[in-house]
Amino acid sequence: MAAVFWVLFVCLVSSIFSQPFTTTTDTSALLRFKSSVFSDPLNLLSSWSSASDCCTWYGVTCDEFSGRVIALNITGSIASLLAGTVPDSIGNLTELRSLILSHNALSGEIPASIGNLRFLEVLEFQGNNFSGIIPARLSTLQSLQVLNFSFNSLSGEIPGDLIGSGNLRVIDLSNNKLIGDIRINGSRECLGLKHLKLSNNLLENNIPKQIGNCKNLRTLLLDGNNLGGQIPVEIGQLPELRVLDVSTNSLNDKIPKELANCRKLAVAILTNLSNFVGFGDKPVIEFNAFDESIPYELLTLPSLQILWAPRANLHGELPRNWSNSCSLRVLHLGQNSLTGIVPEGLGVCKNLTFLDLSYNRLVGYLPERLQVPCMIYFNVSQNSISGSLPSFPNGNCDVNLVSCSGDPKFLDLEDMQTAYSNIPVWGIQMENLLGSINDEGFPIVHDFSWNQFNGNLPLFSFGEELLKTKTKCSYKLYLNSNAFNGSLPGGLVTSCNNLLSISVNVSANHLSGELKELLLFSCRQMREFEAAYNQISGSLTHDLGNLKMLEYIDLRGNKLSGYLPSQLESLQSLQVFLLGGNNLTGEIPSQFGQLTSLMVLDLSHNNVTGKIPISLVNAKSLEILLLNNNKLSGEIPWHFSDLPNLTLLDVSFNNLSGPVPHVPSLADCDRLKGNTYMDLCPEKASSSELPLSGTGANLRNPKKKKIYIIAAIISATLLVFLLPVVVLILVCWKRRFCKDSNLKEKIVVTFADAHAELTYDNVVRATGNFSLRYLIGTGGFGSTYKAELSPGCVVAVKRLSIGRIQGTQQFDAEIRTLGRIRHKNLVTLIGYYVGEAEMFLVYNYLSGGNLETFIHDNSGKNVQWSVIYKIALDIAQALAYLHYSCVPRVLHRDIKPSNILLDQDLNAYLSDFGLARLLAVSQTHLTTDVAGTFGYVAPEYATTCRVSDKSDVYSFGIVLLELLSGKRSLDPSFSEYGNGFNIVAWAKMMIKEGRSSEFFSSELWEPGPKEKLLGLLKLASTCTVESLSVRPSMKQILEKLKQLKT
């Protein structure tokens, strides 16, 4: 007993005498940390002073017996970010158990001395600006359980012994710049690991098979890297796995059916979308492209709640039996190549709140058992589903599944914060697909568009439980581009009074009846209404003004008649008002000038009369005003030049007269032509002054006005006497000419003003009878000549390679369709001539040459990123316009650098659009296949002989690759890799081998910006994948390009 007492006494004395030394060491280490902090906005460290006990300092915790510092926790916030570095002296806190410095602005390298902290259990530095490598000595910390370095700028490789070492339960290294392989240490040591998060780095090569040794792993996040190969079947050996995300990599091969062995799997994210930007400036583009169908066993896992696999290159049919999938809440299989029907069995998934099957090849009818009214997101657009829409069951919805606030009410996982704190479906993805929660509320989206549905429009409803939440909801209903017929229903949506807003699109159907029934009895919460290109009749009434929330209304291409309503000044939220292509009459109400939010007004192709009201100049937000093809008279209000945002004004084909105000968009005479009494040369005057000279000014002078009247009377009198004589002379001359000549009249049909006389003889003369000296280009469709029709008026004439025209009527319809197309990045088709042995097209001439010359004849020149980006954006805008704004849509079919022209400022213009189809209908094309040019043709044409908008996307991707590399599609330098190797294969090889920088021309890569160049390369590579479902649409490409600009 005495011996025991003596031992305790010695230990106590030793502790007393050693304590001052160790606590002093702790104090000194902490003060050094304070001295390395140069910004402390809230003075959090003000209590840190040598005059006080360090155990009383902010963020410091000491052991109550030894007095040693065991925890340092300074978690920052927006208002309290510490800025500075972490000194090596932090390693002197040898009793430290927890070191948390998260969400500050600390920078520099992570000190290797942390490896001295042998008792450390929690190490969290996430959300700072740390750089450099991860210290290898961290692998020796046997007590460490939680390691979180996420959201920093760490680089280098992950230390080889880190994953699987000691007692680590949580490793989060996501959102850094780590490279190299994922290496897992041993097998036994890995048993403690529960959560591994390596998302959004630059990790490469395959997912290691040793991952199957981590038997207790619950969360595995590997998304946003450069991982390749197959998903290892060994993941199926993880019985505790709940969350798996391998999206945004370069994985391929089959999705292993062994994943179904993970019976507790709740979230499986296999692919993601490509239309958003990830952490920082790092572009996020999906490269995973799996083979064949998704395993049936995975779809029917009893615990599966989220399956997210858009653009996964999936094929085959959906399973018929879903009885085991009662837990399924979110299913996203859009943008694949799924075939067959939407199975009736999906109706048993009563918990399903998100279903996306869009952009597939589904047919048949929609099953009535689907719980569409209970879904916050339902999308079957861009398929071939037919039949009438069923009356979906409107039973009780489980509001606890998902509320309109967007909060996930599922995934009851242990340690949710570290397991998966940012589920992509409810984070980035839901925000992009549905829109963030704002003044429109959280949207419920039901999308049936672009199918073959028919019959009458049903009455739409949704679960009342979805509306009984704290956050107001909005409703978006898309029924456009189907074959619905019959009259518009009196009310389209029930329960709309509980909504914050509603948007409806029924455009491009066969709907008839009068408009007023829908608008008068529909929701006052209507924010957007689109019913363009139907057969809707009746008139616009003053009751339209009751829809005070209305922002967007599109009624183009209908049979509306009557006057434009004047009492619309209450529509102060209205931004877009599209009424073109109807039979509206009367004058433009002056009250339109009171619509202060109005940005776009389209009254074109109607029978509107009277003057253009000067009050329109009060609509200061106006950007686009289309008044063409009406019966307007008088002058264009001079003060239109005061509208600060007006970029497009078209008044062509009216009865306008007088001078033209100095409005930039009217510099294009196409927007003025067809007005007989108008001076087509705009007079340049100050925007604040009326013209002081010219016809307009003279007519405002009373004395001169009398002179003009007298002169007009005399001229008219002479004309009455002389006209019969002139007519007689002309008739005799014509008879003589027709008698003495066997020449036939050769007419050049025009769509735009060439600013010179455009006749067959004039074109032949200007080209020297198509002489080689005027030749500026040749291609598969024919040869192009430069023609100066009159001094300073130059056009480009494309002489087509033809035989005899067949199907003249269809050919004429095709060419007239092309002639109506106008876009700032499309070469304007001015006119055409068709004869028995001659056919040519007349375009506007661009002096900057073509893109092929720009890329391949400018080697060594310093081409800046801004130029490359602008060219890419111009082409994308032109293609998106052809694909989505033209009715019917136009496929280019032959995109290549030589078909992209440049002006002197290097603005890009797409030429030859629609020519492949145009010449196909004439059956005369001799030299080029209708699918395009070898080296730019999409691979599916070789097997299907069919082209689509995705074929244009593939060709566009190759043009981007040529722009970035300076090499040709079939560059001679590729010969060393063997036959069939092209620029697409080279780009894929460079990316896979981590040598992306070698792909770019040195003149482009060296000055950068490198992150944006890499983003454009990934986008180009996505455009050139073989799978149609993986390739993005031009809309998605355009959105991605716009994001690269920021």
Give the start-to-end residue ranges of the domains of the chain. Answer: 306-410+435-515, 537-686, 701-742, 760-1045
Contact 366, 355 (CB under 8 A): no
- Of 822, 939, 945, nearest to 890 (Cα)? 822
Instruction: Note the pLDDT of residue 802.
Output: 57
- Give the pLDDT confidence score for residue 197 in this predicted structure: 95
Annotation-wise, does 798 bind a ligand?
Answer: yes
Q: Which of 223, 650, 894, 952 is catalytic?
A: 894
SS3 state at 364: coil
Confidence of residue 13 (pLDDT cuts 50, 70, 90): very low
Q: Is the pLDDT score of 106 beyond 80?
A: yes
Name the packing angle between helices 865-884 and 1034-1045 (round to 10°): 150
Find tokens 């280098």 and name the residue.
156
Q: How far apart are CA 193 and CA 265, in angstroms?
A: 17
Mean pLDDT of the chain: 79
Checking if the pLDDT of 823 tops 90, the result is no
Question: Can you tell me whether residue 448 is helix, strand or coil?
Answer: coil
Extract the tokens encoding 404: 């309109």
Cα–Cα distance for residue pair 831/670, rounded to 1 Å: 13
- pLDDT, residue 186, reads 60
- Domain spanning 760-1045: CATH 1.10.510.10: yes
| Structure confidence at residue 970 as a pLDDT band (50, 70, 90) | confident
Residue-wise pLDDT tens digits, 55-66: 999 999 999 888
In this structure, of 402-406, 589-593, 751-755, 1009-1013, the range with the lowest mean pLDDT score is 402-406
Q: 202-206 and 179-180: which strand pairing?
A: parallel
Q: Which CATH architecture has domain 306-410+435-515?
A: Alpha-Beta Horseshoe (3.80)
Q: Under the phi-then-psi rule, with left for phi > 0, alpha for psi from -120 to 50, and beta for the rest, what region is 629?
A: left
The pLDDT value recorded for residue 1017 is 92
Confidence category of residue 120, pLDDT binned at 50, 70, 90: very high
Looking at the predicted structure, is the pLDDT value of residue 542 above 70?
A: yes
pLDDT bracket for residue 469 (50, 70, 90): low
- Residues 941 and 935: their CA atoms lie apart, in Å, by 12
* pLDDT at residue 459 tops 80: no
Q: Tell me phi and psi for residue 229, to 5 degrees.
A: 75, -155
Per-residue confidence band for 712, with pLDDT thresholds at 50, 70 and 90: very low
Q: In whole angstroms, what is the distance from residue 459 CA to residue 454 CA?
A: 14
pLDDT of res. 979: 65
Tell me if residue 483 falls in helix, strand or coil.
Answer: strand
pLDDT at 624 over 80: yes
| The pLDDT value given to residue 383 | 92
Across 163-183, average pLDDT? 90
**Cβ contact 500:524 at 8 Å:** no
Fold of 537-686: 3.80.10
Lowest pLDDT segment from 75-84, 392-401, 816-825, 887-896? 392-401
Instruction: Kindly state the average pLDDT of the residues 779-804.
Output: 79
Q: Which pLDDT value is given to residue 545? A: 82
Both structure tokens of 369: 């058992």
**From CA 579, how far away is CA 572, in angstroms rounded?**
18
Q: Range with the lowest mean pLDDT among 340-344, 378-382, 491-495, 870-874?
A: 491-495
Q: Is-catalytic flag, 894?
A: yes
What's the pLDDT tens digit per position in 850-888? 898 888 876 556 678 989 999 999 999 999 988 877 766
Please tell me the predicted confidence (pLDDT) of residue 373: 84
> Which range among 337-351, 538-552, 693-707 shows the weakest confidence by mean pLDDT?
693-707
What confidence tier does 546 reach under pLDDT thresholds 50, 70, 90? confident
Q: Which of 832-841, 843-852, 983-992 has the lowest mean pLDDT?
A: 832-841
Residue 394 has pLDDT above 80, yes or no: no
Least confident of 315-329, 495-509, 513-527, 796-810: 796-810
d(CA 434, CA 430): 6
3-state secondary structure 196-245: EECCCCEEEEECCHHHHHCCCCCEEECCCCEEEECCCHHHHHCCCCCEEE
pLDDT at position 460 over 80: no
Domains 306-410+435-515 and 760-1045 share a fold: no
Per-residue pLDDT for 981 more than 90?
A: no
Residue closest to 928 by CA, chosen among 939, 912, 944, 943: 912
* 124 phi/psi in degrees, rounded to 5: -130, 115
pLDDT at 708: 41
Condensed to tens digits (0 to 9), the pLDDT of residues 875-921 reads 999 999 888 777 667 888 889 998 899 988 899 999 888 776 665 54
pLDDT band at residue 1037 under the 50/70/90 scheme: very high
| pTM for the model | 0.63
- Mind listing the pLDDT tens digit for each residue in 14-33? 444 444 446 889 999 999 99
- 819 contacts 832 by C-beta, under 8 angstroms: yes
pLDDT digits (tens, 9 = 90+) for 414-458: 433 333 333 433 333 443 344 444 445 567 889 999 999 999 887
Distances from the Cα of 196 to the Cα of 139, 169, 225, angstroms: 15, 8, 14
What are the angstrom distances between the C-alpha of 235 and each of 218, 246, 249, 294? Answer: 11, 12, 17, 16
